[in-house]
Amino acid sequence: MELKLLLRGALAGGVGGLLAFVFARIFAEPQIQQAIDYEEGRGAAQEALDRAAGIPIPAAESEVFSRTVQANIGIGTGLVVFGIAMGLLATVIYMICLGRVGAVRPRVLALLVAGGAFVGLFLVPWLKYPANPPAVGDDDTISTRGGLYLAMVLASLVLLGAAVWLGQRLAARFGNWNAALLAGGAYVVAVGIVMLLLPTIAEMPEPLRDPSGRIVYEGFPADVLAFFRLYSVGAQLIMWGTFGLVFGPLAERALAPARAAARDAVPA
């Protein structure tokens, strides 16, 4: 049974990753290209300033993969593989929750798990450390930013699990709806505290200036950054929404024999 659910979860996650790629290719990729164009233009302007100041210009690095390969095969493969991995993770969470969260239908539970994974794994960490396109962020702080983002993800998941546990404990006293509201409120407060404790990273490129202070290249376009971040949320929403909608019926069909056997085993 577990293997059947895992295979179905991987399939649902792969479909979600594929649809997320289609969305990202249409909407996010143009923003990425604009960011790359900005980075190249700013780099050329910086080289001109360095050359005028007598600073040696390092040799340009050759691309291992072309932009066409990166924008299609690279991102597509990455999102599908990521979707499969997240589908497997969500399926494990689904199997843990199965039978432990009350009389919830398999389809409904799949949607709840997908929604919780979207919030806990992506949206909450994104609110603290949103995605950035190329040219935004210092290469020297990549490891620091990655570590802080991972810490935010782990904190969000732990607190989300604690909120589910709290909701189950409060349900008998306050009812399911009120218990869910109280647990959700506790999660929001706890996540807010974690966000305040973790450092904020702001690396938006400022305008490039020459030694006299004159602007020789503009700062990073705010609209490109905003649209890129918006589309990153859209891609994740599509991936997790697809997982919930696809995995739910598949899981219900896989669980039907076991549920029927359990009903038959109950004495009349």
Per-residue pLDDT of the chain (268 residues; tens, 9 = 90+): 789 999 999 999 999 999 999 999 999 999 999 999 999 899 899 899 988 888 887 776 666 677 778 878 889 999 999 999 999 999 999 998 887 776 788 899 999 999 999 999 999 999 999 988 877 877 767 888 889 999 999 999 999 999 989 998 998 888 888 999 999 999 999 999 999 999 988 778 889 998 899 999 999 999 999 999 999 999 999 999 999 999 999 999 988 876 655 555 555 4
Under a CB-based contact definition with an 8 Å cutoff, are residues 247 and 114 in contact? yes
Q: Residues with Cβ < 8 Å from 148, sequence gap 6 or more?
A: 129, 198, 199, 201
Spatial separation of the C-alpha atoms in residues 125 and 139, rounded to whole Å:
21
Which pLDDT tens digit goes with each residue over 171-221? Answer: 888 888 899 999 999 999 999 999 999 998 877 888 999 889 999 999 999
The pLDDT value recorded for residue 268 is 47
For residue 215, the SS3 value is: strand
Identify which of 16, 171, 20 has the alpha carbon closest to the alpha carbon of residue 91: 16
Q: Is 58 exposed, middle or buried (0-12, 13-18, 19+ CB in 10 A)?
A: exposed
Q: Looking only at Cα atoms, what is the longest distance across the chain?
A: 92
Spatial separation of the C-alpha atoms in residues 144 and 223, rounded to whole Å:
26
